[in-house]
Amino acid sequence: MNRFGNVFYLCLLFGALWGAIWTVLVTLLALFVSGELFQPQVTAGALAGLVAAAVLTGVAPVKRTLGIRILTGFVFLLVLTVASGGAPMGLELSSYPVGQLVFTVLMAWIMSQSIHLTALGFGPNSERRYNVEVLCLRFIKGFGLVAFTIAVALPFFIMVMMSLKNQQLLLSNPLDFSLNFAQGTEALFRSYIELFTQYHFGSYLMNSAIVSVVTVLVTLFFAVPGAYAVARLKFPGQHFLSRSILLIYMVPMIVLVIPLYAIFSQLGMRNTLWGLMLVYPATTIPVALYMLQGYFRGIPSELEEAGLMDGLTRLNVIRKITLPLALPALASVALYVFMIAWNEFLFAFMFLDNVDLYTLSRGIAELNSSEVPRQHLMAGAVIATVPVLAMFLWFERYLVAGLTAGSVKG
């Protein structure tokens, strides 16, 4: 009976694919970080990945210790170096030797772990259709995770690195994202310092924060009782209202800008933050209503009926029972509304002319000019992204806590 079958050969195929993928990705990372003209050795990487997969999956799953995985990485590194003619990253080893050593070792370790996780528990004599399907799904899942991570992280990485460079270095080598820490902290963060000292970014941040927070508060103030009424109370037109909440989004915002511009100009609200605080909730309340009504319907009505039987008023039922159980939904809606208000550009561009009243998105648009260094635009984009990212990470623990809080209430 043949000891090797479809699972083993699939592992070899996926090993070759992982070898080619990680050779390309790590080589490009080295290119971005160092500025050296590295070139991915795709064919050599695929061959090295195939050989490494044969070494690892040829061993019984219970014997794949850390030492075996290190040996697999060493085999990958050796075959890659030989197959590429002594240039595993497209340059001779004498060029940028320490950096090449670090990145090739990193490539070998990630490659070894990728094969290990893909073939975990599988090896020779694992010939079952289920095992083949699981193996394929593991590779697809891993590849999807890698692709998603790159799609999210790469633009942010480039944005941050470009914001820390100077104009001369960006023009001389646009692909060199390495940082010169010897120039000092002030020179490294010069773009950020100039944004706050010369381009009013401190006031932009404050204006955006005020408008976004007010938008969240006003939206929740109207959306919570509105969504509860649609989800719980019986009244004529309830189903029609429930289905027509999002009709406002069928009208493009650009169509609303012109009449709002004329009305706000006549009322003296065009060049004020109050105008944005009035318009933004009008655009976010419908989506907040739609999101919250679905969550309110998911809360058992028996809990509220028990509260009413205990003598609570409808308002106290909402405050003491419904809202604590709806904390995950409230946090999600608040974060979503904040992001909409924080990133909104069209109304801010049309309504604001005073530089002191610019929101962050409106201020960043002013940096998109040939007269402003490109690194300043990247720094402005980083400043606009970091607060939202920090808020999401801060809200995440409340989302998780809120999901489990309702399950232990007795």
Q: How do residues 22-72 score in pLDDT, each as one tens digit?
A: 999 999 888 888 777 888 999 999 999 999 998 888 888 888 888 888 999
List, for residues 189-223, the tens digit of each pLDDT value. Answer: 888 888 888 888 889 999 999 999 999 999 999 99
Measured CA to CA, the distance from residue 24 to residue 79 in angstroms comes to 16
Q: Which of 149, 110, 97 is nearest to 19 (CA)?
A: 110
Q: Which residues of the chain fall below pLDDT 70? A: 1-5, 123-128, 171, 173-176, 238, 370, 397-410
- pLDDT at residue 77, as a whole number: 92
- pLDDT at residue 127, as a whole number: 60
Q: Which of 129, 192, 136 is nearest to 10 (CA)?
A: 136
- pLDDT at residue 303, as a whole number: 79
Q: CA separation (Å) from 39 to 29, 151, 203?
A: 11, 21, 45
Helix %, strand %, coil % of the chain (to 5): 80, 0, 20
- pLDDT at residue 397, as a whole number: 67
Measured CA to CA, the distance from residue 56 to residue 61 in angstroms comes to 9
Q: Which of 321, 362, 216 is nearest to 277 (CA)?
A: 216
Tokens of 31: 């290119």
**What is the DSSP code (8-state) at residue 167?**
H
Three-state SS at 176 = coil
CATH number for the region 192-408 comes to 1.10.3720.10
Q: To which residue do tokens 């990372």 refer?
A: 29
Three-state SS at 3 = coil
Element (H, E) at 360: helix 360-367
- pTM score, two decimals? 0.75
Phi, psi of 188 (to 5 degrees): -65, -40
Domain with CATH 1.10.3720.10 in the chain: 192-408
Measured CA to CA, the distance from residue 354 to residue 32 in angstroms comes to 39
- pLDDT at residue 19, as a whole number: 93
Measured CA to CA, the distance from residue 317 to residue 217 in angstroms comes to 21
Q: CA separation (Å) from 103 to 32, 69, 119, 199?
A: 12, 18, 24, 39
Please answer whether residues 53 and 11 qualify as being in contact, where contact means their C-beta atoms are separated by less than 8 angstroms: yes
Measured CA to CA, the distance from residue 301 to residue 314 in angstroms comes to 12
- pLDDT at residue 128, as a whole number: 67
- pLDDT at residue 402, as a whole number: 45
230, amino acid identity: V
- pLDDT at residue 59, as a whole number: 82
DSSP for 264-307, written as a single string: HHHHT-TTSHHHHHHHHHHHHHHHHHHHHHHHHHHS-HHHHHHH
